[in-house]
Structure 1
Amino acid sequence: MLDESGVWTASQAAKLSYPEAGHGACFSVEDGSFWFSHRNECILALIKAHPPRTGGPIFDVGGGNGFVASRLAENGFEVVLVEPGPEGAQNAKRRGIEHVVCATTESAGFSPNALPAIGLFDVIEHIEDDVEFLRSMRGLLRHMGQVYVTVPAHTALWSNEDVRAGHFRRYSLGAVSKLLESTGFRIDFASYIFRPLPIPIFAARTVPSIVGRSAGRDRHRTAREHGLKRGPVAKLLDAMLGSEIENIKHRRPMRFGASCLVAATASMGS
């Protein structure tokens, strides 16, 4: 049904592996965050290099507050945001996303083989049965439909931050590529991104988690880590990360980084 804010809402609420305050915490930092900004530019470059073959909208599944969807829409892509969390869906509507569905893909009732393209941006790691989930995504896509994916990289970087975020795992680029291939997709492009970050993440998150000194999470710490005030560290990272966008535009995969970025096509006969 369509609620008073213009959000399509499923009648049945979904169980989420996501922090209750997660959408609000992200919404408070996204616009000023070097991390969210760079991920957006990587996703945009990926989709421009591998645009939906069959035309029609990109369904941003688990699209949260609409930060990615907004950037794609600014660049002429039609986007439908599908977000089961009510707070995230309302934030996306406030951000100006025209088509917002507050539901899972299952409760939304999408027809099989109907969607032209799906975005899964830091979503799969929140799904306990990632194989079955990706099979269900494959079943929703048209012939030659595409999926665009980001996930956190490297099991070695696992920390209490992953637990707090509701992650079930981190992936190597090879692992997420094999996962997609095993569930009916052909890999078009696969690369690491955020090349400067693995060592800082290991030092600031993984090591404290191992030795039992992991700090708690609050919005002030989140803001500091995301460079909310655009300080010198954030500016330095922006400069270091700029070459990654050019690599993606020219389809040059990168061999190391803190996240994985993949474009894949629904295979024939799957």
Structure 2
Amino acid sequence: MDATAKISYPSTGHTSCLQVEDHSFWFKHRNECISALIGRFFASGRFVDVGGGNGFVARKLVDDGLDVILVEPGADGARHARELRGLENVIHGTLLDAMPLLGEAGAIGAFDVVEHVEDDAAFIDQVADALSERGLFFATVPAYQWLWSSADDEAGHYRRYTSRSFTDLLSTRFDMLFSSYFFAPLIPPVAISRALPYRLGRRGARDDESAAREHGTSNGMATRAMSAMLRHEVRRISTIKPLKFGSSLIVAARKKAI
């Protein structure tokens, strides 16, 4: 598989994300959910963050005490991870490029990555091949195709998933340990402000200012209220109690024994 040719991601995506990550309730909450889930299943060993962008997730996992290698095909993302996030173990390349350098990883994470890969089944095979025996795979992906909007077009997504469709995707190489939706309070605003206008043919591009508003970087009252509504999701995920709906999906899976 020519992994590089089959990845869809905007050329300015990492720089755009860098403008909002540190002050975004969305990125903060996703980090907290990822950290909570990994903490339940993975205690030590080499953790490879594939497609880790600017290193926002990897920085959190390193601070949690994990031995993290970030693999990022985008030059801007890899540079930001090193220079701005202070990450020492960064490989500029795809997972396929990095595999000769990694050895066998105890765990791999792909956080909002799989939806950018055209041949997602081939990518999952690569992940399994890079893992040690009975290694762990953690992922987040956007949920529900009916929530598709201009934001998905702009982000370079190929698809959105359900818990069932993502479990089916992993099933040939992995046993699912945990699958849960999250960002439940975002479903109404995403459906009304993004998906519905998209279905009605209103497909205008977002600018940096509108992206900042959506991510709540000003920490206004609406953002604080949203953050408060999201807190229970971290508690649920940390105690392995799945949520039944949400605009994103988070999973943990174990590589099947050969």
Q: TM-score, normalised by structure 1?
A: 0.91
The aligned counterpart of 1:27 is: 18
**Distance in 2, Cα, partners of 1:112 & 1:159:** 36
The aligned counterpart of 1:49 is: 40
Letter in 1 for 2:257: M
Note if 1:37 corresponds to 2:25: no
Counting only pairs closer than 5 Å after superposition, residues 185-200 of structure 1 correspond to structure 2 as 185-200=174-189
Cα drift, residue 214 of structure 1? 2.7
Counting only pairs closer than 5 Å after superposition, residues 40-119 of structure 1 correspond to structure 2 as 40-51=31-42, 55-94=44-83, 95-110=85-100, 114-119=104-109
**Distance in 2, Cα, partners of 1:106 & 1:237:** 38
Give structure 2 stretches of 5+ with no counterpart. Answer: none
On the 8 A contact 1:112/1:141 being kept in 2, the answer is no
Cα drift, residue 111 of structure 1? 6.7
The aligned counterpart of 1:161 is: 151
Counting only pairs closer than 5 Å after superposition, residues 1-270 of structure 1 correspond to structure 2 as 14-15=4-5, 16-51=7-42, 55-94=44-83, 95-110=85-100, 114-182=104-172, 184-269=173-258
Structure 2 vs 1, CA of residues 112 and 25 (structure 1 numbering), >3 Å: closer, same or farther? closer
Letter in 1 for 2:115: E
What SS class does the counterpart of residue 197 from structure 1 fall into?
helix
Cα drift, residue 14 of structure 1? 3.4
What per-residue deviation string (whole Å, max 9, x for no partner) do you get for residues 167-209 of structure 1? 0000001111111112x10111110000101111011111111
What SS class does the counterpart of residue 119 from structure 1 fall into?
strand
Q: Percent identity?
A: 44
Q: TM-score, normalised by structure 2?
A: 0.95
**Distance in 1, Cα, partners of 2:63 & 2:139:** 20
On the 8 A contact 1:13/1:84 being kept in 2, the answer is no
**Distance in 2, Cα, partners of 1:154 & 1:144:** 29
Cα drift, residue 109 of structure 1? 3.8
**Distance in 2, Cα, partners of 1:237 & 1:200:** 11
What SS class does the counterpart of residue 120 from structure 1 fall into?
strand
Count of matched residue positions in the alignment of Structure 1 and Structure 2 = 255
The aligned counterpart of 1:9 is: none
What SS class does the counterpart of residue 171 from structure 2 fall into?
helix
Structure 2 vs 1, CA of residues 138 and 109 (structure 1 numbering), >3 Å: closer, same or farther? closer
Letter in 1 for 2:200: V
Structure 2 vs 1, CA of residues 138 and 163 (structure 1 numbering), >3 Å: closer, same or farther? same
Cα drift, residue 135 of structure 1? 0.9
On the 8 A contact 1:69/1:81 being kept in 2, the answer is yes
What SS class does the counterpart of residue 62 from structure 2 fall into?
helix
Letter in 2 for 1:238: S
Letter in 2 for 1:97: L
On the 8 A contact 2:42/2:107 being kept in 1, the answer is no
What SS class does the counterpart of residue 109 from structure 2 fall into?
strand
**Distance in 2, Cα, partners of 1:189 & 1:113:** 26
**Distance in 2, Cα, partners of 1:108 & 1:58:** 13
Structure 2 vs 1, CA of residues 109 and 118 (structure 1 numbering), >3 Å: closer, same or farther? closer
Give structure 1 stretches of 5+ with no counterpart. Answer: 1-11
What SS class does the counterpart of residue 4 from structure 2 fall into?
coil
